[in-house]
Every structure is written in structure tokens, then in C-alpha cells.
Structure 1
Amino acid sequence: MTRMDLRIFTEPQQGATYDTLLTVAKATEDLGCFSAFFRSDHYLHMGDVTGEPGPTDAWITLAGLARETKRIRLGTLMTAATFRLPGVLAIQVAQVDRMSGGRVEFGLGAGWYDAEHTAYGIPFPKARFGLLEEQLAVITGLWETPEGETFDFKGTHYRLTDSPARPKPAQAHIPVLVGGHGAKRTPALAARYADEFNMPFSSMDDTKKQFARVREAVAEAGRDPGDLVYSNALVACIGKDDAEVARRAAAIGREVDELKANGIAGTPAEVVERIGQWREAGTERIYLQILDLGDLDHLELVASAVAPQLG
């Protein structure tokens, strides 16, 4: 049986400094059982938090972490296509990949949070899926252009002429993540560009249905559906006993029963069983959303009491 791949996923817009993120990333690496540290790409907090001391930029953060870590993969769930021009983003991600020695993975989404765009003067067009499609075409096209050749693109939203298509990433191919709930266009986009398909914060039934759609679209595109990794992002709330689970749930303002129904929550034994259910649903990789970034004991518990049981 294939071992479930566990990754750590953070939401720094809810309140985190770079130093906090560095501490979590180093713990992610040092504990040995997590393959990657990922973060969101948002500029404004959500819900009943202040987001102090303010947002940190995803790719600037990952550039710093690229020099401070050695093993773990680094990436975003998901970079918003509305935030950066695709040519600039291709350069940024390629540079961070080189800074990390080839450990970057690139998640790109359409962007959805209109309030952060308004807050920071970022355009928020209604038709964003077209931006996403063209950005994926431009960014992967720039990376894949052979050395010595130029790249041209003529689309509705972006036009590039005689681009030298540099710098190249350290990796021959940066893994691309596409995700979401769309029934038609999203699976088609994943079939064309993705190395991994991610379902964020979804029920098991919805996950099964969307994975099936993606597999069908990948096959129709002439690719092997097994070539993609199928993953979920799920909030984590794990404790050595019921009291500790309840304490961690309260610390992030959530209810235990809701977390058990919709996330990865409970005692280690409960969580191992739950992860087994996700495996049966087709999930190969889980991004554990850690909302209390000051609670490093949480990560240590997963490493000592959960990960060793995941055969």
C-alpha cells in the first residue's frame, strides 16, 4: 500500500510574521515525516481575526525559506492569477526554484477573494478563469521553451513577443497544481497542465466525484490519469486525548464535531482511521492546514503518533 504523503499548509494572512513561518517550516523539515511546506497566497485576513502584523507575500516568503531549508518541497495553494503578470510570475517562481536547489511546486488558481483586491488596489475582473488559462499557458510555455529559442504568445489577456524565456528553473519540470470544484473547465485545465489535482476543504463525496471527473478529462486528453497526484487540503486538529483535541479546536475557534466531520481531527487513532478513509476515496496526499502556528507540539504529535501508522 502506498504511504500517504503528508504536507504542512499555512494561512499566514490570518496573522504570522516571516519568523513564525520560518520556525514552522524548519519544524516541518526537522520532524522528517512531512514532504513539504506550503502557504496560501492572500493579502487580507478572513473572519474574526486581526491578521496582525499584516500580510506577507507568498513568493518573497518562499524565497527566504528556500535558503533556510534543505529538503522539504515549497509551494503555494494557490497563487492567484489576479496578483501578478504571468511573465513576471514565471521569473519569480523560476528564481525561487533555483534558490531552493529545485524544490518548488507551483499551485495557480483564478483568485476569489474580492475584498483583498479592493483593499490593495488589485483589479478583480469578473471573468477570471480566462486569466488562469492564459497564465498557465504563458508560464509553462516560458519554462519549457528550449534554450536559445524565444517564446511568443497571443491571447485575449496577454501577449508576449520574442521573450528569451529566462531564467529557467533548476528543475527540468516544476510540478504544477490545479484545483477546485468546477465540474467541466477545471478538470479540462487540470488535464492539460496539472501534475497534481487538489480538492480544498471538500467533503469526501464531493472529492470522489471531482477526482472521477478529472480522471475522465485526463484520459480524454490522451494522458494517463495515474500520472497525476490527487490531493486534499484539510484543516488539522489532533490531540493525544479528547481534552487536547477540544483545547486545540477552541484555540482556532472551531467545534470538535465539525472538525471531525470536515477535516483531520481527533486522537491519533481516530485520525489514522480517517486518513485511511480518505485513501479509499482516492486521496494520495493531504495538506494539513495548521491554523495555530505557535503550536509546534501539534506537528510533533502528528510526526510521533500519526505518521508512523500510515502504511
Structure 2
Amino acid sequence: MDLRIFTEPQQGASYDTLLTVARATEECGFDAFFRSDHYLRMGTADGLPGPTDAWITLAGLARETSRIRLGTLMTAGTFRLPGVLAIQVAQVDQMSGGRVELGIGAGWYEAEHTAYGIPFPKNRFARLEEQLAVLTGLWSTPLGETFTHDGTYYQLKECPALPKPAQPRVPVIIGGHGAERTPRIAARFADEFNIPFASIEDTERQFGRVRAAAEDIGRTPGDLVYSNALVACVGENDAEIARRAAAIGREVDELKTNGLAGSPDEVVEKIKLYEAIGTSRIYLQILDLGDLAHLELIASRVLPQLG
């Protein structure tokens, strides 16, 4: 079981804060550092000092870390044209020595688009599917050849399809709860399917849809990695668990139901339930980025029990 650290910087984090957490992620032995791709806070957070751009952040971290994988859950397809995003991701992959992964979705948070003057078009899933065709097409075009795409939403003519990523293929992560389009898009384009904030029962149901969609197009379902994203709130005792829950404005009982909360042993037990239905990777949503002792506890008491 891979454990990855997943942050939500739109709630309030500077680049320096994210660098501190990424370095702690690496030092503690976690597999990867991921971040959301949002430009506006959610809920009651003040969002200070303001948003940071996901791919600018990852470019910096690429040069200041050495081992951990780096990526997004999820880059909004509405934020960047696919040709531009292909260049950005390939460049950051080169900067990291081949450690980048692209989580990408259709975009959903209309308020941040309105706030920053970003178009929020209709048919976002159709656009996402075409974006993925362009992205993967650009990266897979052999050196010396060009890429042309005449689609409904995007047209590229004789693109040199440069730069190339350092990896032979940048892993693509598709996720979500949608029952039809999401599994179909994942089956066609994804290396990993992620379902965020889902129960074991809902996870198993959605994984089954993705496997069926893969079989429908002649793809081996086992070719995909299946993962969850879940909020983490771990403590040595009840008082520490309650303190960490209060720091992120959540209730302990709710977190135990909907996330990974409790003692290290309780959290390991729940992770193994996810593992039993096919999960092989979990993104731990860490909402209090100033609490590095939380990461250290998970690394010392949870990671060793997962093999």
C-alpha cells in the first residue's frame, strides 16, 4: 500500500509552507506529495496569503526534492489549454528527473472561475476527453514527427510535440464518482483511477464500473492502479485525535466514518479494509499544514504496518 500526502493550498498556504511539507513528506518516507489545483478558498478558511498555482509550485518542488513523486489531484481542465498543459507537465517532469504525475479533471468549482475571469464552459467532460487525446497524443508523438488534431474544441496543426517528458509516459490519473462518463474516460486514458472521499462500499462499486469499462474496450482492468483520497486525522490518544479534528473544523465521529481517523492501529485496520476491495494507494488529505508531527506519527506508526 502506497501512502501519499495530499494538500489543499487554496485553504491557505504559501510556497514556503508547501516546501516544508513536501520535504517532510520525503524525509518521513511517504511515496509522493500531491496538491489540489484551485484558485479560491472553500468554506470558512481565510485562504491567506492567497492561492498558489499548482504547476508553478510543482516546478519549484521538482528542484528542491529528490525522491518523492509530485502531482495534482486534480488539475482543472478549464484552467489550461491542452497544448500549454502538455508543455508545462513535460517541463516539470524534466525538472524533477521523471517524478511527475498528472491528475486531471473537468473542472467543477464555478466560483473560482468567476472570481478570476476564467471561462467556465459547458460540455466540460467532452472537452476533458479531447484534452486527454491531445495531451497523450503530443507526448507519444515520435521525435522528428508532428502532431495534428482537428477536434470539436481544439485544433492543432503540425505541432512539433515538444518538449518530451523525462518519463516514457507521464502517469495520468482520472477520478470521480460519475457512474458512466468517468469510468469510460478512465478506461481509455488513465494509468490510475482515484475516487475521493468515498466509503468502502461506494469505492468498491466505482472500481467495478471502471474495471467493466476497461473490459468493454479490450483493456486489462489490472493495468490500472486503483486509489482513494481520504482526510487523515491520526493521534496517539483520544485527546490528540480531538485536537487535530478541531484544528481542521471537523468532528471526530464524522472523520472516523468518512475518513481515516483514530489511533494508528484503527487507521491501519480501516486501510486494510480498502486494500481488500482493490485499493493499492491512498492519498492522505492533510488539512493542517503546520502540524508536521502528524506526518511523523503516521510515518512511524502507520506506514510500518502496511508493508
TM-score normalized with structure 1 length: 0.98
Distance in 2 between residues matched to 1:54 and 1:234, nearest whole Å: 24
Partner-residue secondary structure (3-state), 1:294: coil
Map of 1:240 onto structure 2: 236
Partner-residue secondary structure (3-state), 1:161: strand
One-letter amino acid matched to 2:271: I
Aligned pairs for 1:1-311 within 5 A: 4-32=1-29, 34-311=30-307
Distance in 2 between residues matched to 1:272 and 1:204, nearest whole Å: 14
Percent identity over the alignment is 76
One-letter amino acid matched to 1:164: P
One-letter amino acid matched to 1:20: T
TM-score normalized with structure 2 length: 0.99
Distance in 2 between residues matched to 1:131 and 1:39, nearest whole Å: 23
Per-residue Cα deviation, 1:31-64 (whole angstroms, up to 9, x for no partner)? 11x1100000000000001100000000000000
Per-residue Cα deviation, 1:242-295 (whole angstroms, up to 9, x for no partner)? 110000000000000000000010001111111111111221100000000000
How big is the shift at 1:185?
1.1
Distance in 2 between residues matched to 1:269 and 1:231, nearest whole Å: 21
Runs of 4 or more consecutive aligned structure 1 residues displaced over 6 Å after TM superposition: none
Residue ranges of structure 1 left out of the alignment (5+ in a row): none
Distance in 1 between residues matched to 2:292 and 2:187, nearest whole Å: 37
Distance in 1 between residues matched to 2:176 and 2:56, nearest whole Å: 25
Residue ranges of structure 2 left out of the alignment (5+ in a row): none
- Aligned residues, how many? 307
Distance in 1 between residues matched to 2:63 and 2:12, nearest whole Å: 23
Distance in 1 between residues matched to 2:92 and 2:273, nearest whole Å: 36
How big is the shift at 1:126?
2.5
One-letter amino acid matched to 1:144: S
Distance in 1 between residues matched to 2:123 and 2:213, nearest whole Å: 23
Partner-residue secondary structure (3-state), 1:183: coil
One-letter amino acid matched to 2:48: E
Partner-residue secondary structure (3-state), 1:141: helix
Q: CA RMSD in A?
A: 0.6
How big is the shift at 1:296?
0.1
Distance in 2 between residues matched to 1:165 and 1:157, nearest whole Å: 18
Distance in 2 between residues matched to 1:129 and 1:307, nearest whole Å: 36
- The answer to which of 218-227 and 80-89 deviates more is 218-227
